[in-house]
Amino acid sequence: MRVAEATNSQTPIRSRDIRSNDKVQVQLENALRPIGYFYERKNDQHIGEATDKRIDAVKLGQVILAYVLREPDRAKTASNKIFGEYYEWVFNEHVLSAENVLAIWRIYKTVEDDRQRMIKQMSGGLRKRYDEAWIIEGVFHILYMLSLKTEASGGDIFDAQQALSHYEDVKNEIDKFVDSQRGTAAYRIFRSAYTKGLLAKVAAGQQLNFEFPRS
């Protein structure tokens, strides 16, 4: 892989493109197509299809990192590693059945749709402060909390209905958490590995008596 990248320094090749013909990637595309979804091994591979039926490979990798592997900060800050050093970890063919992919994608889309609505409200001047709209930065941490909550309740994280039954509770808990960290920008909160540990305590019902580190 490194050789391929190094010998093409004149025309950089993205890791995603190099991996696009990997067995797992092709299997995913072939498994999803018969049920009406278009998996994009390459960027905009199915640009002519309906947006809500397209599943981007990088975005799916981020969702897997946040929701299945419970690494929301890496999902947010290290997406460039998904098709590099994280590849075998993220794209585990024993986990990635078409059914499981569609379940976690449905969960992600529910959160992303909320995020898009908030962006529209912000652009329309309906929100006064950016940090009041923490969901814009916190999508992957919502997914993380949903995974924790679903498992803790004895549910199946690959059952979208079960996971989404915790959605309002999770949003309320993160909202209270962000509010308790006034003075720290949501952008910074959701890029820090420290936040994952704090939210795990929140999900477990523990009281937080310390603040997000300022330094």
Residue 39 lies in a domain: yes
Q: How far apart are CA 173 and CA 51, in angstroms?
A: 31
Residue 149 lies in a domain: yes
Say if residues 192 and 198 touch (Cβ distance below 8 Å): no
Distance (Å, rounded) from C-alpha 199 to C-alpha 208? Answer: 9
Q: Which two tokens stand for residue 120?
A: 């529209």
What's the alpha-carbon Rg for the chain, to the nearest Å? Answer: 18
Q: What is the predicted pLDDT for the residue at 41?
A: 95
Q: Which residue has the higher pLDDT, 139 or 128?
A: 139
Beta bridge partners of 54: 38
Whether 135 maps to a domain, the answer reads yes
Short-list 53, 66, 24, CA closest to 41: 24
Residue 212 falls inside a structural domain: no
Token duo for residue 25: 């990637």
pLDDT band at 7 (very low <50, low <70, confident <90, very high): very low
Per-residue pLDDT at 141 exceeds 50? yes
Show Cβ contacts of residue 31 under 8 Å, excluding neighbours closer than 6 positions: 97, 98
Between 212 and 138, residue with greater pLDDT: 138
**Would you tell me how many other CB atoms lie within 10 Å of the CB of residue 149?**
21
If you average pLDDT over residues 115-119, what whole number do you get? Answer: 91
User: Does residue 214 belong to any structural domain of this protein?
Assistant: no
Least confident of 44-48, 57-61, 99-103, 119-123: 119-123
Q: Residue 6 falls within a domain, yes or no?
A: yes
Asked if 32 and 98 count as a contact pair (C-beta separation under 8 A), the reply is yes
Total domains in the chain come to: 1
- pLDDT confidence band for 206 (50 / 70 / 90): confident
pLDDT exceeds cutoff 80 at 126: no
In a domain, 215, yes or no: no
Give the pLDDT confidence of 18-39 residue by residue, as tens digits.
Answer: 999 999 999 999 999 999 999 9
In contact, 41 and 20? CB cutoff 8 Å: yes
Residue corresponding to tokens 């509010």: 179
Q: What is the pTM of this model?
A: 0.88
- Domain containing residue 68: 2-203
**Residue 172: inside a domain:** yes
